[in-house]
Amino acid sequence: MLSNTHKRDLQQRSWKVIYTRPRWEKKVDTLLQASGVESYCPLKKESHKWADRNKIVHLPIFSSYVFVYSNPKEESLIRQTLGVINFIHFEGRPATLTDAEINRIRDFIAQEKDIEIISVNQLSAGDRVRIKSGALESLSGKVLQVQGKNVLMVLDHLGCVIITKVAAENTILA
């Protein structure tokens, strides 16, 4: 039977985002799980070709981010884990995600084979991008302006110029 304190700790658990050293996402995920902390590092498969071989590698989808399912008592253990820089904060407290949001990420990764995450911060006017899905799928164009999470772009392959607004997550650098 669980004590009241243990039940309360389990109820206070939530998904939080931690920021890691660059290229340490998988290492941090492994270290956290070895210390008993539930963590999740979403990965995508990519084929890499070297001079002597081809290899499928698993790369993190979110650069320098790992999700942890923890309670406030585990936060110091998480911060002390090699490769962890800190929790991502929002309004002065660690940013949290719901179970449904984590499940959506897991479902999306299971369904999508060609995943590339591009931060809005990585896009700027003049970049060439390709639309990944929707009515204008596979069309490419030039970014005119980044407006919040949307990209204003010119599609110039249709024999005329169409200016459209596309969600940034629906673009890929061309």
Burial 144-162 (b: 16+ CB within 10 A, else e): eebeeebbebebeeeeeee
Span 55-70, pLDDT tens digits: 888 889 888 999 999 9
Alpha helix positions (H), the chain: 4-11, 25-34, 75-79, 99-111
Here the tokens at position 28 are 């941090």
Span 63-116, pLDDT tens digits: 899 999 999 999 999 999 999 999 998 888 888 999 999 998 888 888 776 665
Question: If phi over 0 gives left and psi between -120 and 50 gives alpha, with beta otherwise, what is residue 10?
Answer: alpha
Here the tokens at position 174 are 């061309």
Query: Over 80: is that where the pLDDT of 123 sits?
Result: no
What is the average per-residue pLDDT within 125-153?
74
Q: Are 33 and 48 in contact (CB under 8 A)?
A: no
